[in-house]
Amino acid sequence: MRIAFIGLGNMGGPMAANLAAVGHDVSGFDLTAPMPSGVVKAESVAQACKNAAVIITMLPNGKILRSVAAEAIPAADKGAVFCDCSTVDVASARAVASQAEAAGLLAMDAPVSGGVTGAQSGKLTFMIGGTDAAFSIVLPLFDIMGQKAVHCGGSGAGQAAKICNNMILGVTMIATCEAIALADKLGLDRQKLFDVVSTSSGYSWSMNAYCPAPGVGPVSPADHGYKPGFAADLMLKDLRLSQQAAAEADADTPMGHLATELYGQFVEQEDGRGRDFSAMLPRFESRGHIDG
Ligand code: NAD
């Protein structure tokens, strides 16, 4: 299949390389990133999109997505699929999809979870918003780049699933970290707390699979000095998208709001930038009850 791939950074680079490695004809464009192995360099977004059956974008935010889409859509063949895998606001995802459809293209939002290691090993999970027709064309590509693709509904549903999932993750990571810091101050051994919580009603992915305490539970970024993993900066981005969506949809998300404020403080005023999002644990350890 002839594929255009726009945005070849930490995530897009290995995703495009995996498509090229199984023999797809991948034409790539990025402002700065080098071409991944097997990907043919295009000189512009428009040149990459010419004659492509599927156009995949993996970009930093909704504003950049809108500008790339404005160049890609007029250059694309009618019937091509515009498939955005970036994490962006729901409004940008829907705006770009309706522009693509108005120009005779098929469109889908397909954000991912699984991080850079998932992108490299072809084990991403895709959350998809779009029509059945678009989904069935791109599904074989999702099978190469990922291990699971969930068709969540119409346009924007993939982004909605992604930010709801990550809002739960941000909130539960904070709750897990503050509980471990409280247990420390109560004189409770961390391993004992893990043994209880991981098999009791307080269990979660944050505690069981990604325990923020070094030396407890499966190996996680906590065991490597909180080197990401999933950076606190990216968690903050996703939490802010959840709050933008909550405002637009008039939804009450007080815990999501508080998690956004805490990660904002952690990344922008404390030492969270560039650290894994589970480094909230040492943050709580160093604070007392009145630090607020
Ligand atoms: P990145 O910054 O490494 O890559 C983005 C790439 O887009 C860069 O190489 C940049 O040069 C390119 N770019 C920017 N503007 C462009 C333009 N106008 N035309 C062409 N290329 C342009 O970011 P990333 O980590 O690869 O993340 C990409 C997306 O995936 C983001 O939306 C992010 O939220 C999401 N995501 C990232 C992770 C992760 O762990 N890194 C996990 C899940 C989702």
Ligand 1 centroid–CA 110 distance in Å is 14
pTM, two decimals, is: 0.94
Catalytic residue check, 162: yes
**Residue with CA at minimum distance from ligand 1 atom 4:** 9
Position in ligand 1 atom list of the atom nearest CA 88: 32
Buried b (16+ CB within 10 A) or exposed e, 181-199: bebbeeeeebeebbeebbe
Amino acid at 52: A
State residue 290's pLDDT score. Answer: 77
Position in ligand 1 atom list of the atom nearest CA 111: 44
List, for the chain, all residue ranges whose pLDDT scores fall below the cut of 50: none
* Residue 9 Cβ contacting ligand 1 at under 6 Å: yes
The active-site residue, picked from 41, 78, 123, 162, is 162
State residue 292's pLDDT score. Answer: 57
* Residue 68 Cβ contacting ligand 1 at under 6 Å: yes
- From the number of C-beta atoms within 10 Å of its C-beta (0-12, 13-18, 19+), residue 264 rates as middle
Ligand 1 centroid–CA 200 distance in Å is 38
